Amino acid sequence: MTKLTLKDIAKHFSVSVSTVSKSLHDSHEISDGLKSKIRKYAKANHYKPNKIAQNLVNRSTKTIGVIIPNILNYFFVQVLYGIEKVANERGYSIISCISDHSLKKEAMTLDLLSSGAVDGLILSTVASEMQTNKHIGKILETVDNQIPLVMFDRVLDAIECDKVIVDDFQAGYKATKYLLDTGCTNIAIISPIHSTKIGRLRVDGYKQALSEKGFAFDDKLITPIEPKDDLEFILSFILNDKNIDGIMALDEITTVKAMGIIMARGYHVPNDIAIIGFTNGRLSKYVTPALTMVSQHGSYIGETCANRLIDRIENISSPGNFETKVVKTSLIVRESTRKLPMV
């Protein structure tokens, strides 16, 4: 059974396709008798207009593309959730693609989506600003000016577009300050994202908090790690070298793992070592002790992205004049840190 088209219906009633189209749109140009006959027939046979054809004439698809590095990361899932929510409210669908931390795959997806498949794009790029800069620059040039783009979290300064980013400097600052205020004096950072700008900003915030309290910054307290690294080995190194009493880990899973290892070695959390992590997901809340985390408000970020993008698409916001929205983080205090002293 092949799909029913306007032409089929037209033939069935020996009328023209325009008559059928108008009837289904309830145009006043068509007599009530014919109109209702046609509509009844269409309904009875489950006629549905071909979206593709409609898109072609309308030059719009009412869908937005989302490209994120990883769907197994809770932060991105939350963002996706937020995007989906407002996209849906405003009549758009989303087509979501995972770049899987691969520059090549991101480029492919970008290429695919920017050719009319979607009305706009939301992107958290996998490209850090290192050697790949020219590469990504070239890639994004294909998107640039062709289709509205909103970047979030992992953004590229070189690209001019709307952006929604996390105040990572302040996040690093707040977390560090909290540890300091609760009595920590030797705070180590474990960073699985050290090559990214985000990672650097958090460390900058850390430095700022340190210097405000008169502590010297010690380079050795920052440990970049790779996915393949043995965290246990690295941690033992850190713990033996200095008398650490606080740890900041820059993603959720690393935080949870680090706490596990630390406790297994006999330290008490938070009394011996306090821990703060980034990305407030499901894990942090249910782990024991529950982790104090920096929440980036992923869902809100997603909503903001989607709203801004759709505004652009529908030309509500004036063209050009790109804005960068900075979303503040919150510190969700739980049990992996000590209490603030009463004033």
Contacting residues toward DNA, per CB under 7 A:
3, 5-7, 14-19, 21-22, 24-25, 28-35, 48-50, 53-54, 56-59
Q: Minimal distance in Å, beta carbon 155 to DNA?
A: 29
Q: Which x/- pattern, by CB under 8 A, does the window 112-131 give for its own copies? A: xxxxxx--------------
Give the residue among 201, 225, 210 at the shortest CA–CA distance from 179.
210
Q: Which tokens sit at 166?
A: 């996390």
How far apart, in whole angstroms, are the C-alpha atoms of residue 332 and residue 283? 13
Size of the site for its own copies (CB under 8 A): 50
Per CB under 8 A, does 98 bind its own copies?
A: yes
Per CB under 8 A, does 17 bind its own copies?
A: no
Q: Which tokens sit at 57?
A: 């004439």
How far apart, in whole angstroms, are the C-alpha atoms of residue 316 and residue 313? 8
Per CB under 8 A, does 89 bind its own copies?
A: no
Closer CB to its own copies, 177 or 334, in the complex: 334
Q: Minimal distance in Å, beta carbon 46 to DNA?
A: 12
How far apart, in whole angstroms, are the C-alpha atoms of residue 334 and residue 151? 31
Q: Minimal distance in Å, beta carbon 65 to DNA?
A: 18
- Name every residue whose Cβ is closer than 8 Å to that of residue 50 and which is 6 or more positions away in sequence: 3, 5
CB 202 within 8 A of CB 171: yes
Backbone angles phi, psi at 96, to 5 degrees: -110, 135
Return the SS3 of 257: helix
Interface residue with its own copies among 89, 141, 157, 160 (CB under 8 A) is: 141
Q: Minimal distance in Å, beta carbon 6 to DNA?
A: 3
Q: What percentage of the chain's residues is helix, strand, coil (to nearest 5)?
A: 45, 15, 40
Task: Specify the stretch interacting with its own copies by CB under 8 A; choose among 53-61, 241-249, 272-280, 320-328.
Answer: 53-61
The one of DNA, its own copies, none whose footprint includes residue 211, by CB under 5 to 8 A per kind, is none
Interface residue with its own copies among 15, 253, 332, 333 (CB under 8 A) is: 253
How far apart, in whole angstroms, are the C-alpha atoms of residue 238 and residue 247? 10
How far apart, in whole angstroms, are the C-alpha atoms of residue 238 and residue 142? 45
Per CB under 8 A, does 81 bind its own copies?
A: yes
Q: Residue 247, by phi and psi: left (phi above 0), alpha (psi -120 to 50) or beta?
A: beta
Binding footprint of its own copies on the chain (CB under 8 A): 1, 3, 46, 48-53, 55-56, 61, 63, 71-72, 77-78, 80-81, 84, 88, 93-98, 105, 109, 111-117, 141-142, 145-146, 253, 256-257, 260, 281-283, 286-288
